[in-house]
């Protein structure tokens, strides 16, 4: 049976089973069948060693003819591989003992990497894989397409390199593929142009062509996306059922006076977003809305309008921000723009116990209408008298569990999550499939577009001269660095050392400040206040200023080592300027020699000012992030087969089927049956989602 322990597969004993469970999350036969290849190799694309040239990145295939320690004191290992046309050497400087045992004369291996030349052709620390000696004719490696599987050193040490995985997966398929039942009927498969499930499981591991491998991946991706979308739609349905017909209608008497008092005119998108929220809050079930907009489009004032609606219903509001700097800025903005007499409190981790206790008492008694803070809001000591609205800013910096914890502090709370990081449409449908969405694209009419320029480090003197020119005219500037302190392992200038250089050597006549995340909260607050008041001309900082910093007089931001940042992060940093009435500049400084992918990111930013198109490009380049974890970042989206950056049409199709089954109570049983047949834990085990599924199911 598919649920049998992995030891049911011949060749997997207790010790190997323990390693599979610990290193790969494989505990059952089903887990093994759904263990996705990380990539495929087409044997027809291999290069002969004779035809490999220096600086090429290649994959070669041959037989190990020699394994030898080399260098003075035998400091590195050489593995010589012969393919009949020439010999290439794999060179290993780390893990020598491991690799000395891993490679043996006569092994058939694949080496991938960049060709170098030192006495002979070589690849330093190549990606490698083993093939069976008779792989050309053996059924486990039929044809020219070879699957390569994710593997750790411990897995490889237990015999679970790609060669080992191919062997046990073959045995699992031979013994258990007949146990697989397809949860989708033939009509749906034809409509969706999807493979049958058994065929897909066979083809994803042992495809006859790259096209067949992609068809198999697409079918298995649909399963994943359907399961996820089904539970998101069940959440939406459940939230709508938990409403109360006795929810008081919001009193919006204060809304028009508030909007009229603003020192600026709202854009059409802002007014539409406020109208969306008014309609949500008037409904008998809780609001569940995502407000996304590019940097500088004015989401904060929309959240203030939402807060007024909640206050008018006699409820309290919690606003959670990811950093103390952003929380403090929201606190100041709310106090400045909301009607006089609105009681607003600030709660952060750096508050002294006496002040924290005072905030707790004011919130518990209902004296405080709006409390703005950081993660301190989800601490056990904070209790609300009547929490009605939760606003989470820069929501991607909070995990699912943290959002759930804050919502548990009230009953039927309205939820507004905001992000200044525009979200690609495919990611919106997956990560935020349970939310209604409002989008603000319009910038304020008087906003002057930021000019983005890129320079190599050899031209840094000209950058310094430009900054000095604008500071002399009364403007201010940021210098952003990716790290705080110097590291012997990373050849990067740090914010601390740059602060010393800029303040004493480059701009001796200017006041230069330093801001980074490891500084005490009161010191950070003091620096930011000095900067806002113009007492600091140039602020050297890390990405602690990435979100929420609003100083209109700053018209230059210089981002050092721009190649170290992702596209969306660069765009967020660029958003710290362009908030005043003067032309602003974002200057990206990179090494004279920079990798092609990093240079492409930098060039993309110089050509494009639209955060939404930048987000789409960033998704293509970096992947969709760890969308189920406590944070969203990196390449691993958590899906085994689905690719959020390219499977948009498949996401739409899965969502449509999930909505049909999840929202109609007469079909819910059918939906649950499909999910059970798919085997949700097997398909979603890579997502770290068992706790999440317990929340949303």
pLDDT for 74 beyond 90: no
Angle of helix 668-678 relative to helix 210-241, nearest 10 degrees, comes to: 140
Give pLDDT tens digits for 639-667: 788 877 678 788 888 888 888 887 777 77
Q: What average pLDDT score do residues 240-245 get?
A: 63
Q: Identify the band that residue 636 occupies on the pLDDT scale cut at 50, 70 and 90.
A: very low
pLDDT for 534 beyond 50: yes
Placement of tokens 């049958």 in the chain: 196
Cα separation, 45 vs 189, whole angstroms: 33
Strand arrangement of the beta sheet that strand 76-82 belongs to: 116-117, 121-124, 87-92, 76-82, 57-70, 108-114, 127-131
If residue 555 lies in a helix (H) or strand (E), which one and from where to where? Answer: strand 554-559
Cα separation, 16 vs 648, whole angstroms: 38
pLDDT for 403 beyond 50: yes
Residue ranges of the chain assigned to CATH 3.40.50.300: 255-440, 451-608
Cα separation, 9 vs 177, whole angstroms: 12
In terms of pLDDT, which residue wins out, 296 or 403? 296
- Which of 541, 551, 420, 405 minimizes the C-alpha distance to 475? 551
- Which of 685, 231, 273 minimizes the C-alpha distance to 430? 231
Cα separation, 472 vs 484, whole angstroms: 28
Question: 392 is written with which tokens?
Answer: 């989470």
pLDDT for 270 beyond 80: yes
pLDDT for 488 beyond 50: no
Cα separation, 686 vs 513, whole angstroms: 44
Q: Pairing state of beta strands 585-590 and 554-559?
A: parallel
* 242-279: burial string, b at 16+ Cβ within 10 Å, e else: eeeeebeebebebbeebbeeeeeebbebbebbbebbbe
In terms of pLDDT, which residue wins out, 597 or 272? 272
CB 265 within 8 A of CB 581: no
Q: Identify the band that residue 80 occupies on the pLDDT scale cut at 50, 70 and 90.
A: very high
In terms of pLDDT, which residue wins out, 98 or 194? 194
Q: What average pLDDT score do residues 527-551 get?
A: 86
Q: Which of 404-408, 539-543, 648-652 has the lowest mean pLDDT?
A: 404-408
602 contacts: CB under 8 Å, gap ≥ 6: 454, 562, 563, 570, 588, 590, 594
pLDDT for 400 beyond 70: no
Cα separation, 389 vs 465, whole angstroms: 49
pLDDT for 487 beyond 80: no
Q: What average pLDDT score do residues 629-647 get?
A: 57
- Check residue 139 and report its DSSP letter: G
Q: Which of 72-86, 164-178, 567-581, 603-617 has the lowest mean pLDDT?
A: 603-617
Q: What average pLDDT score do residues 75-86 get?
A: 93
- Of all residues in the chain, the percent with pLDDT exceeding 90 is 35
Q: Which of 120-129, 228-237, 260-269, 587-596 has the lowest mean pLDDT?
A: 228-237
* DSSP alpha helix (H) spans, 130-209: 153-157, 162-176, 186-192, 197-205
The fold adopted by the segment(s) 255-440 is Rossmann fold (3.40.50)
Q: What average pLDDT score do residues 541-552 get?
A: 78
If residue 588 lies in a helix (H) or strand (E), which one and from where to where? Answer: strand 585-590
Give pLDDT tens digits for 661-694: 877 777 777 777 777 767 644 445 444 344 344 4
In terms of pLDDT, which residue wins out, 78 or 161? 78
- Residue 452 in 3-state DSSP? strand
CB 128 within 8 A of CB 109: yes
CB 678 within 8 A of CB 18: no
pLDDT for 570 beyond 60: yes
* DSSP alpha helix (H) spans, 194-339: 197-205, 210-241, 255-261, 268-282, 299-312, 324-337
- Check residue 254 and report its DSSP letter: T
75 contacts: CB under 8 Å, gap ≥ 6: 93
Cα separation, 236 vs 106, whole angstroms: 59
Residue ranges of the chain assigned to CATH 2.40.50.140: 39-148
Q: What average pLDDT score do residues 355-374 get?
A: 94
Q: Which string of DSSP letters, residue by residue, matches 25-88?
A: ---BHHHHHT---SEEEEGGGPPPGGG--TT-EEEEEEEEEEEEEETGGG-EEEEEEE-SS-EE
Q: What average pLDDT score do residues 524-535 get?
A: 90
pLDDT for 136 beyond 60: no
Q: What average pLDDT score do residues 371-387 get?
A: 89
The overall pTM is greater than 0.75: no
Burial class (CB in 10 A: 0-12, 13-18, 19+), 53: exposed
- Which of 610, 599, 622, 600 minimizes the C-alpha distance to 571? 610
CB 180 within 8 A of CB 198: yes
Cα separation, 162 vs 257, whole angstroms: 67
pLDDT for 696 beyond 80: no
Burial class (CB in 10 A: 0-12, 13-18, 19+), 44: exposed
- What pLDDT sits at residue 243? 60
- Domain 451-608 in this protein, CATH class: alpha beta
In terms of pLDDT, which residue wins out, 296 or 355? 355
Question: 650 is written with which tokens?
Answer: 């498949």
pLDDT for 342 beyond 90: yes
pLDDT for 281 beyond 60: yes
Rounded mean pLDDT of the chain?
A: 83
If residue 20 lies in a helix (H) or strand (E), which one and from where to where? Answer: helix 14-24
Q: What average pLDDT score do residues 387-398 get?
A: 79
- What pLDDT sits at residue 148? 84
Q: Identify the band that residue 504 occupies on the pLDDT scale cut at 50, 70 and 90.
A: very high
Q: Identify the band that residue 139 occupies on the pLDDT scale cut at 50, 70 and 90.
A: very low
Maximum mean pLDDT: which of 489-498, 604-613, 628-637: 604-613
In terms of pLDDT, which residue wins out, 672 or 183? 183
pLDDT for 44 beyond 80: no
174 contacts: CB under 8 Å, gap ≥ 6: none
- Domain 39-148 in this protein, CATH class: mainly beta
Report phi then psi at 129, rounded to 5. Answer: -155, 155
pLDDT for 247 beyond 80: no
pLDDT for 557 beyond 50: yes
- What pLDDT sits at residue 398? 58
Question: 635 is written with which tokens?
Answer: 């390449």
If residue 152 lies in a helix (H) or strand (E), which one and from where to where? Answer: none
Cα separation, 586 vs 559, whole angstroms: 8
Cα separation, 468 vs 571, whole angstroms: 24
- What pLDDT sits at residue 458? 94
Q: Pairing state of beta strands 87-92 and 121-124?
A: parallel
- Which of 135, 125, 71, 75 minimizes the C-alpha distance to 102? 125
pLDDT for 629 beyond 50: no
Q: Identify the band that residue 145 occupies on the pLDDT scale cut at 50, 70 and 90.
A: confident
In terms of pLDDT, which residue wins out, 66 or 661? 66
Tell me the longest C-alpha to C-alpha distance in the chain. 85
Positive or negative torsion for Cα 565, 567, 568, 574: positive
- Residue 219 in 3-state DSSP? helix
Q: What average pLDDT score do residues 500-525 get?
A: 90
- Residue 122 in 3-state DSSP? strand
């Amino acid at each position: 049976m598919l649920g049998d322990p992995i030891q049911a597969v011949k060749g997997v004993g207790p010790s190997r089973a323990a390693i599979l469970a610990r290193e790969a999350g494989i505990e059952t036969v089903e887990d093994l069948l759904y263990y996705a290849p990380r990539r495929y190799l087409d044997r027809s694309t291999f290069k002969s060693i004779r035809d490999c040239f220096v600086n090429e990145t290649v994959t070669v295939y041959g037989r190990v003819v020699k394994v030898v320690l080399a260098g003075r004191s035998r400091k590195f290992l050489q593995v010589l591989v012969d393919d009949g046309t020439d010999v290439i050497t794999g060179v290993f400087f780390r893990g020598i003992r491991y690799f000395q045992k891993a490679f043996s004369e006569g092994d058939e291996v694949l080496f991938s990497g960049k060709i170098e030349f030192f006495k002979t052709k070589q690849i330093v620390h190549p990606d490698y894989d083993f093939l069976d000696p008779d792989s050309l004719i053996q059924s486990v490696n039929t044809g020219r397409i070879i699957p390569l599987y994710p593997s750790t050193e411990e897995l490889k040490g237990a015999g679970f390199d790609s060669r080992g995985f191919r062997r046990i997966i073959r045995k699992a398929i031979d013994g258990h593929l007949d146990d697989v039942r397809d949860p989708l009927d033939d009509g749906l498969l034809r409509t969706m142009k999807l493979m049958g499930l058994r065929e897909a499981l066979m083809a994803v591991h042992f495809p006859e062509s790259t096209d067949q491998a992609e068809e198999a991946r697409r079918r298995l991706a649909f399963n994943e996306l359907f399961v996820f979308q089904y539970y998101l739609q069940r959440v939406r349905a459940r939230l709508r059922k938990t409403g109360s017909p006795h929810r008081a209608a919001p009193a919006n008497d204060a809304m028009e006076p508030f909007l009229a008092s603003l020192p600026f005119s709202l854009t059409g998108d802002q007014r539409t977003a406020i109208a969306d929220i008014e309609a949500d809050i008037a409904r008998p079930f809780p609001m569940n809305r995502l407000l996304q907009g590019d940097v500088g489009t004015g989401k904060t004032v929309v959240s203030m309008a939402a807060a007024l609606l909640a206050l008018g219903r006699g409820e309290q509001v919690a606003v959670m921000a990811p950093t103390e700097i952003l929380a403090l800025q929201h606190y100041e903005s709310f106090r400045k723009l909301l009607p006089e007499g609105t009681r607003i409190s600030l709660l952060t981790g750096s508050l002294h116990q006496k002040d924290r206790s005072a905030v707790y008492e004011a919130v518990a008694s209902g004296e405080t209408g709006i409390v703005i803070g950081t993660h301190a809001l989800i601490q056990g000591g904070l209790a609300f008298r009547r929490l009605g609205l939760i606003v989470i800013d820069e929501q991607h910096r909070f995990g699912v569990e943290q959002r759930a914890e804050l919502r548990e502090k009230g009953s039927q709370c309205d939820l507004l999550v905001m992000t200044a990081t525009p979200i690609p449409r495919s990611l919106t449908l997956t990560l935020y499939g349970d939310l209604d969405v409002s989008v603000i694209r319009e910038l304020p009419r008087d906003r002057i577009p930021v000019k983005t320029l890129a320079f190599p480090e050899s031209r840094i003197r000209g950058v310094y001269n430009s900054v000095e020119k604008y500071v002399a005219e009364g403007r201010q500037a940021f210098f952003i660095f990716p790290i705080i302190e110097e590291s012997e392992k990373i050849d990067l200038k740090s914010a601390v050392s740059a602060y010393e250089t800029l303040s004493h050597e480059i701009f001796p006549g200017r006041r230069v400040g330093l801001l980074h995340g490891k500084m005490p909260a009161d010191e950070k607050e003091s620096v930011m206040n000095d900067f806002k008041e113009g007492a600091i001309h140039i602020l050297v900082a890390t990405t602690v200023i990435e979100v929420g910093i609003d100083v209109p007089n700053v018209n230059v931001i210089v981002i050092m080592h721009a190649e170290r940042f992702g596209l969306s992060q660069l765009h967020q940093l660029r958003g710290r300027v362009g908030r005043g009435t003067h032309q602003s500049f974002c200057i990206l400084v990179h090494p004279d020699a920079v990798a092609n992918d990093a240079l492409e990111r930098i060039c993309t930013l110089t050509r494009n000012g639209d955060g939404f198109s930048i987000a789409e490009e960033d998704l293509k380049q970096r992947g969709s992030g760890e969308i189920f974890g406590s944070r969203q970042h990196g390449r691993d989206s958590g899906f085994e087969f689905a690719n959020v950056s390219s499977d948009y049409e498949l996401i739409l199709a899965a969502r449509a089927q999930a909505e049909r089954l999840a929202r109609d109570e007469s079909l819910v049983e059918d939906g649950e049956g499909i999910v059970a047949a798919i085997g949700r834990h097997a398909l979603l085990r890579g997502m770290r989602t068992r706790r999440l599924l317990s929340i949303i199911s």
